[in-house]
C-alpha cells in the first residue's frame, strides 16, 4: 500500500473526487483554498458546518470533509442561521453562488448581515446561472450576453460588497480566482471573525457566460481577470465597481460589533432568571 498522503486529504472527501466542475471553472480553486484555509487555521472540523445552496458551487458541501448540508434553492443562509442559533459553539460557513445568495436568497442575506449572525459567507460569482442554462442573474454586468439577454443585459447588477457592507457585515472582501493567496487569507479572516463575514470571489464560467462573452478559453478567462483586476483595499465599497474593463478587488470592511447568537443566549438567560424569581421554570425561546 502507498504511504502517500495528500496534504488536503483531511479536509476533502477523497471518495467524491474528481469533482464535476467544468474545465476552467474557478470553483475547484475555491474548494482548494478553502481546504488550505482550514488547514492553516488548524480549525477543529467538528466545529465547522459547511452549508451550500443550489448551483454549480452548491456541490462543494459534498466535497468538504466536515459536517455539511446541501439546502434547497436560496435557503443556505436560513439553515446556517438556524444552526448558529441552536448551537452557538459551531461555525457555519456558507459557500454558494451569486444567484442562490442574492436572487431567491437575497432577503436571507440582508437580514443575516443586519443581525450580525456569526456566519462566514463565501460567494462564487460567475455572473450568471451557470448550472441551469446560462441565464442572466442579479450580478450579470450591463451589456453581457446570456441566454436571457441575447442582445446584451439591460439590468443593473448588484454590487455585492456594497450590499454586504450596507447590510451590516463586519468583514467584507472581494477577489478573483487569479488571487489564490489573497482568497485564502480572506477566507481565514472571515472564518475567524465573530460576526457576519462576506468574501466574494469572481470566477470564470467558460461553458455558459464565457462562451457567450468571448472568454470561453480557460487561459483567456484567467488572463482577463488578471488584466482587469485592480486592488484598492479600504475604499468605500460603493466605489468597488465591476465593469467590462475593471474589477475592483480588496478588503473593504473589517470592524467589530456584538454578535447575534451571543445576544440571543444572553437574553434567554436573563429571561429565565426573571421567571425563576417568580417561581416559574421553563425553557424560553426568544
pLDDT digit string, tens, across residues 199-211: 999 999 999 999 9
Largest CA distance in the chain: 71
- In this prediction, residue 283 carries a pLDDT of 56
51 Cβ partners below 8 Å, 6+ apart? 61, 68, 69, 71, 76, 77, 79, 80, 83, 92, 93, 94, 95, 96
Give the DSSP H/E element, type plus range, for residue 195: none
Q: How far apart (Å, rounded) are the C-alpha atoms in residues 278 and 280?
A: 6
**Is the CB of residue 237 less than 8 Å from the CB of residue 253?**
yes
- In this prediction, residue 14 carries a pLDDT of 83
Residue 57: CA atoms inside 13 Å, Cβ hemisphere, count? Answer: 37
Its pTM stands at: 0.93
pLDDT digit string, tens, across residues 106-155: 999 999 999 999 999 999 999 999 999 999 999 999 999 999 999 999 99
pLDDT digit string, tens, across residues 226-260: 999 999 999 999 999 998 889 999 999 999 999 99
Q: Is the per-residue pLDDT at 286 higher than 80?
A: no
- In this prediction, residue 282 carries a pLDDT of 55
Which residue segments constitute the domains of the chain, with CATH numbers given? 14-255 (3.40.50.970), 257-286 (no CATH)
Q: Is the per-residue pLDDT at 27 higher than 90?
A: yes
- Min mean pLDDT across 61-70, 74-83, 269-278 is at 269-278
Q: How far apart (Å, rounded) are the C-alpha atoms in residues 149 and 156?
A: 13
Amino acid at each position: 500500500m502507498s504511504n502517500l498522503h495528500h496534504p488536503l486529504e483531511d479536509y476533502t472527501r477523497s471518495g467524491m473526487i474528481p469533482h464535476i466542475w467544468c474545465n476552467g471553472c474557478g470553483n475547484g480553486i475555491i474548494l482548494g483554498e478553502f481546504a488550505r484555509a482550514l488547514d492553516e487555521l488548524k480549525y477543529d472540523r467538528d466545529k465547522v458546518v459547511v452549508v451550500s445552496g443550489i448551483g454549480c458551487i452548491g456541490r462543494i458541501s459534498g466535497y468538504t470533509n466536515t459536517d455539511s448540508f446541501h439546502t434547497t434553492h436560496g435557503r443556505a443562509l436560513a439553515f446556517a442561521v438556524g444552526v448558529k442559533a441552536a448551537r452557538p459553539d459551531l461555525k457555519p460557513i456558507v459557500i454558494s453562488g451569486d444567484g442562490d445568495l442574492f436572487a431567491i436568497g437575497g432577503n436571507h442575506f440582508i437580514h443575516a448581515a443586519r443581525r450580525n449572525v456569526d456566519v462566514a459567507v463565501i460567494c462564487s460569482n460567475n455572473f450568471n446561472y451557470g448550472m441551469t442554462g446560462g441565464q442572466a442573474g442579479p450580478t450579470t454586468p450591463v451589456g453581457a450576453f446570456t441566454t436571457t439577454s441575447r442582445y446584451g443585459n439591460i439590468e443593473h447588477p448588484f454590487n455585492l460588497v456594497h450590499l454586504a457592507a450596507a447590510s451590516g457585515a463586519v468583514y467584507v472582501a472581494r477577489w478573483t480566482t487569479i488571487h489564490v493567496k489573497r482568497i485564502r487569507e480572506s477566507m481565514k479572516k472571515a472564518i475567524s471573525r465573530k460576526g457576519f463575514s462576506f468574501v466574494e470571489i469572481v470566477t470564470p464560467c467558460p461553458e455558459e457566460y464565457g462562451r457567450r462573452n468571448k472568454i470561453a478559453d480557460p487561459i483567456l478567462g484567467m488572463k482577463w481577470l488578471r488584466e482587469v483586476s485592480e486592488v484598492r483595499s479600504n475604499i468605500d465599497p460603493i466605489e468597488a465597481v465591476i465593469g467590462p474593463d475593471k474589477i475592483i478587488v480588496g478588503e473593504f470592511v473589517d470592524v467589530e460589533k456584538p454578535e447575534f447568537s451571543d445576544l440571543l443566549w444572553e437574553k434567554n438567560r436573563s429571561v429565565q432568571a426573571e421567571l425563576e424569581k417568580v417561581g416559574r421554570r421553563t425553557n424560553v425561546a426568544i
